[in-house]
Amino acid sequence: MMSRKYDDLVPSPDPVSHRVRLISANWKMNLNHLEAIALVQKLYHLLRPEDFRYAEISIHPPFTSLRSLQLSFEADRMPFTLGAQNAADEPSGAFTGEVSAPMLAKLGVGYVIVGHSERRRLFGETSEEVARKAIAVQAMGMRPIICIGETSEQRRTDQTVQVLTEQLDPVLSTYPVKALEGIVIAYEPIWAIGSGESASPELVEEVGGSLRQLLTERVGSATAAQIRLQYGGSVHPGNAHEFMSLEAIDGLLVGGASLDADTFALLVKSC
């Protein structure tokens, strides 16, 4: 593929919030490294320069594809940011099967998802562990995307804000306030993930507003104003624009719809 020079394609901040939008592709446990390379090459080909100026686009493949994508991005000067889906809270040692933040930083990773509901639910990660992972990520100069979200039962019984507050609390109480400016919070209602039933924009705006209020109370308005908020859960090309238009929302964390280059390109363009 012809290399296009995209060095000038730095995303512009939103004119109102002054935050840089962030659209993230969470591939979960899908695609081998060859499929990963093919997907980003196609995606890059489908996107226009203005798509990269609208938002930063991070791609979060499984660990096995990180090195391949790092080399592809460099070789073809693709202005995607490399992302990971998890990191250990320890830098090294006898932790069989784990991958540490220093290892990810060495691969040029910019964002690391921590505390995805699948990790909390299937692998027993606690909010305290998630906070330690976020700190380990940030200590290596990367930015954590901290996932929070309520179950349908918690929503039905009106516990949403309480649950989200509890999930965020260890982060807000252990982080140095200044460092919080670099974090991204992804609001992903568990019932909306992979279900085809996204949250309504009204609900996301309401929860987003509550989260901004919580952040302002806990860390002050200057720091809170820097923290980016993503929405995730059954985002597709038909609803992405609505979420991106919300005042509280700065970005999207996309699962299923990021696994196909045509669909994800359409989603990004629709924003």
Which stretches of 47-159 are DSSP H helices?
A: 49-54, 66-76, 101-106, 117-123, 127-139, 152-156
**The two three-digit tokens of residue 248, written as one number:** 């509280």
Distance CA 140, CA 110 (A): 10
Are 227 and 186 a contacting pair, CB within 8 Å? Answer: no
Nearest approach, Cβ of residue 233 and ligand 13P (Å)? 5
Closer Cβ to ligand 13P, 61 or 224, answer by number = 61
Nearest approach, Cβ of residue 10 and ligand 13P (Å)? 25
Q: Is 95 exposed, middle or buried (0-12, 13-18, 19+ CB in 10 A)?
A: exposed
* Closest C-alpha to 255, from 122, 118, 149: 118
Which residues are designated catalytic? Answer: 116, 188
Nearest approach, Cβ of residue 61 and ligand 13P (Å)? 13
Strand partners, 24: 58, 253
Closer Cβ to ligand 13P, 224 or 249, answer by number = 249
Nearest approach, Cβ of residue 197 and ligand 13P (Å)? 9
What Å distances lie between residue 216 and 169, 172, 211, CA to CA?
13, 11, 9
Handedness of CA 144, 75, 23, 60 (dihedral sign): negative
By three-state DSSP, how is residue 186 classified?
strand
267 residue type, one letter? L
Closer Cβ to ligand 13P, 56 or 219, answer by number = 56
**The two three-digit tokens of residue 209, written as one number:** 């507003």
Closer Cβ to ligand 13P, 195 or 213, answer by number = 195
Closer Cβ to ligand 13P, 170 or 255, answer by number = 255
What Å distances lie between residue 14 and 102, 110, 136, 181, CA to CA?
31, 20, 29, 16
Nearest approach, Cβ of residue 121 and ligand 13P (Å)? 11
Binding-site ranges for ligand 13P (CB under 6 A): 26, 116, 188, 193-194, 232-235, 253-257
